[in-house]
Amino acid sequence: MNFLEKKSRWIVLIAIILIIPAIFFSGIMMINKSHKDKKIVSIGNSNITLFDFEKTYSSFIRKVISDTKDDIDISLVDTPKMRKSFLEELINSNVLNKTALDLKISVSDDVLCKYISSLDWGNGYNNFSKSNYISALRSAGITPREFEEDQRTYLAGRKLINFIAISPIFPEKLLDHFTRSSLQKRTVRLIDYKYKKFEDEVSVQEDDVLVWYKNNNELLEIPFNIDIDYLILDQDNISLDFDITDSDVDHFYDKNILGNNEVRSFDYIYIKKKDDRLLDIGNASNILELVVQDPNKFESFAISKVNNSQINNFYSKDHLSDNYGPEFSEIVFNLKEGEISNIIETNDGFYIVKLIKKANNISYTKDQIKDIIFKQKKNLLFVDLISKIRDSIYYDNKDLSAIATELSLKKHSLYGLTRDGGVINSDDIKNNYFKDRKILNILFNDFLYNDRNYNLVQLSSTKFVIVRINSLNEAFIPPYDLVKDSIKKVVISEKSRDLAIKKAKELLISLNNGNFPKNLSNKFSKPIECMRNKESIGIPTEVSDFVMKMSHSKLPFYDFISLDSGLYIIKLEKIDENITHDDDINKNFRKIFFDSYGKSESMAFIRYLRDNYNLRLFDNINDILNLKID
C-alpha cells in the first residue's frame, strides 16, 4: 500500500493545450463533391458531413497520439467537449474559406511555400522534407496540388481575421496599467513550514483510522488485474542465418536499380485554365509556335522567370506522376535533352516542357546492395518465423517456455497488470511494453472473452509480443487489518497539514493587526525578488505567482500559500513599479493588447459571416459524439 504513503488526496489535474493546424481541414471541399453522407452542417450551398468530421478528427487524434508517443490516455483528450470544439473550428475554417473564395482574396506563392515549409512533416516544425511531404499527403489520399490549393484558401481566410485583429483601439490608461503590472517587482521574505514538523503535535486514535477506512473505500480498491507471462520477439535480437552470393547482388541490381532511378531536370511554360478552354488552348498554341521557331524565347515565357526553384532540381518519374499526372510524367521522360514538348493538358492548365538534363539519381556500392538484400531477406525470414509461431500458439497450443528455449529468449512475468498499464505491488518493474493502449485493449477487451490461452500482438513491423494470461484477479477492497498501518500514516499526514494551516491563519491575523511575536524575525528568509514571467531563485513557481497576485492595503502585508509538502508564510515588504520609457517594450505590450482585443473582434466577425451564409446545424449533429475513432 505504498501509494497511501505517497499521497493523501487523490486529485488529477490535466491541462491540454491543443493547436489545430490547417492540415487537418484539407480536402474537405474535395470530399463534399464526391462523398454522399449525413449532412451535419450547411454553410450557404456547401455542407460539412459526418464523414468530413470523422476524417479530420481522426487525423487530429492520430497526431496527438503520435506527438505524445502513446504516453497519454487518449480518452482524456477525446471527450464530447473536445469533439464539439473541434467541429466549431471546422465550421469557422469553412466559413472563412468560403468568404475568401467569394471575395477573391488570395495569397502569394511565397507566403504559401513558407507556411507549408513551417509545418511538421515528420522532421519537426520548420524542418521541411519534400519526401516526407509527398508521403504524408499520399497516405492521406490528397495530391500536393489539391492540398496546396486548400492551404491557399485557408491562408486567404485567415487574412480576413488578421485585418480585424490588428485594428482594435483601447485606452492608453489601460495600456499603462498593464505595463506597470507586468514590469512590477515585489520583494518578499518567507518562512517555510513543512507539515511533517507538526506530526508530533497530533494524535491519532483507532477510531480515526477506522473512519478513514470506511469513508474512503473507493480509494483503497484494488482494480481488476491479470497475471501474465510474455515473450518479446524483436527482429533485431533474433539470429537468422543465411548467405548473400554475388549472384544475389547481380540479380538485385538488374531488377531494382538499373533504369529505375533515372531523374529529370526541366523548365516549363504554364497557361492556367480559365473559363474558355478553346481560348486557353489557342494561347498555348501561339506560345508553342513562337518557342519552336526560336527556342531562345522559351525562357521569356518559362515559369523559371518567376520562380527559379524548378531549374537544376531533379525529379523522379513517380514524383511527376503524383504531382502532374501520368501523361505529363511519361512525356517528360521521353524527351531528349534540350527538346521542347507539345502542349500537355492537365486538370489545372496547359504545360509546354523543355528538358534540361537527364541523370541517374542513385549509385550503389556492392556492400550497400548486400546490406539492402540482407535486410530484405531478414524481413522475409522474420515474417515466416512469426507465421510459424502463430500456428504454434493458436493451433498446436505450444508451451511458452518451449518457444522461449527454441528461440533463446527470456520469459518475463507481470503480476497484477491493470487496464491502465499499472502493475500492483510492483513499482520497481519497468512496464514499457504494456503501457501501449493497443496491447491493453487487446488483453482486457478481446483476449479475456475468448478461449485462447495465448495471444500474439504486433507492436511494430519488427517487434511482436506473445502473451499468456495465467490468472484473472477481480477487483476487491483489502481488509482493514491489512491496510490500517498505512492508513494511520495518511491520517497523521492530513491532521498535521490541517494543524499547520490553522496555526498559519492565526499567525496571519496577528501579524496583519500589528502584533509581531518574539523571535519570528529570525525565521524569515533573506529578501527575495519576484516578477511576472520570470523565475525567482530559491522558491517554487507557485509561490512566485501567488506573490504577484497578492492584494494589499499596506506594507508590510502577510499571507500564506499551502502546497503539497508544506506551506509558506509570506511577508510582502516592497513593491517597485519599474516604470519604463523603452519604446520596444511598450510596443510589445501594445501588441499583446492588440492580440487580446483582436480575438474578441474576430469572433464577432465570424458570427456575422455565419449568419450571412445562413449557417444551419442539422438534428443529427450529435452523431459526432457516437463516432468510433480508431
Q: What is the SS3 string spanning 418-482?
A: ECCCCECCCCCCCCCHHHCHHHHHHHHHHHHHCCCCEEEEEEECCEEEEEEEEEEECCECCCHHH
Sign of CA dihedral 480, 486, 492, 494: negative
Cα gap 375→307, rounded to integer Å = 41
Sign of CA dihedral 232, 234, 239, 240: positive
Cα gap 490→482, rounded to integer Å = 15
- The answer to whether 417 and 425 are in contact (CB under 8 A) is no
Burial class (CB in 10 A: 0-12, 13-18, 19+), 623: middle
Is residue 305 scored above 70 in pLDDT? no
- For residue 320, give Cα distances in angstroms to 187, 261, 264, 333, 355: 66, 13, 10, 10, 13
Share of the chain above pLDDT 70, in %: 75
Return the pLDDT at 73.
61
The pTM for the full model equals 0.45
- Concatenated DSSP letters for 43-74? ETTEEEEHHHHHHHHHHHHHHHHHHHTT-S-G
Q: Which H or E run includes 412?
A: strand 412-418
pLDDT tens digits, residue range 66-104? 665 545 566 667 788 888 888 888 888 888 888 888 877
Three-state secondary structure call for residue 266: strand
Q: Which of 199-208, 223-232, 599-608 is most confident? A: 199-208
Q: What angle do CA 411, 454, 475 make, to 5 degrees?
A: 90
Model confidence at 1, pLDDT cuts 50, 70, 90, reads: very low
Q: Which of 36-50, 134-148, 255-269, 299-313 is most confident? A: 36-50
Q: What is the mean pLDDT of residues 50-55?
A: 84
Candidates 393, 518, 515; CA nearest to 447 is 393
Q: What is the mean pLDDT of residues 320-324?
A: 83
pLDDT tens digits, residue range 135-173? 777 766 677 887 888 788 878 877 776 655 444 444 555
Is residue 197 scored above 80 in pLDDT? yes
How many helices (H) and strands (E) would you count in the chain? 21, 15
Cα gap 188→170, rounded to integer Å = 34
Q: What is the mean pLDDT of residues 108-127?
A: 78
Q: What is the mean pLDDT of residues 467-480?
A: 89
Share of the chain above pLDDT 90, in %: 13
Q: What angle do CA 243, 246, 248 make, to 5 degrees?
A: 70
- The answer to whether 143 and 107 are in contact (CB under 8 A) is no
Return the pLDDT at 198.
92
Q: Comparing 51-65, 332-346, 518-532, which segment has the lowest mean pLDDT?
A: 51-65
Cα gap 559→573, rounded to integer Å = 12
Is residue 437 scored above 90 in pLDDT? no
The more confidently predicted of residues 215 and 448 is 215
Return the pLDDT at 495.
94
The three grid cell numbers given for residue 405, joined into one nine-digit string: 528455449
CATH code, 262-360: 3.10.50.40
Q: What is the mean pLDDT of residues 355-376?
A: 77
Return the pLDDT at 505.
92
- β strands within 175-321, DSSP E: 185-194, 225-234, 262-272, 315-316
Return the pLDDT at 578.
63
Cα gap 432→106, rounded to integer Å = 49
CATH 1.10.10.10 fits 18-168+601-625, yes or no: no
- The answer to whether 131 and 187 are in contact (CB under 8 A) is no
Instruction: Provide the greatest CA pair distance for the chain.
Output: 106
Is residue 128 scored above 60 in pLDDT? yes
pLDDT tens digits, residue range 521-570? 888 999 999 987 677 777 888 898 889 888 777 888 999 999 988 999 99
- β strands within 299-391, DSSP E: 315-316, 344-345, 349-360
Return the pLDDT at 425.
64
Q: Which H or E run includes 571?
A: strand 566-576
Three-state secondary structure call for residue 129: coil
pLDDT tens digits, residue range 3-24? 333 333 222 222 233 334 444 4
Q: Comparing 54-68, 95-109, 350-364, 577-591, which segment has the lowest mean pLDDT?
A: 577-591
Q: What angle do CA 20, 24, 27 make, to 5 degrees?
A: 150
The three grid cell numbers given for residue 338, joined into one nine-digit string: 534540350
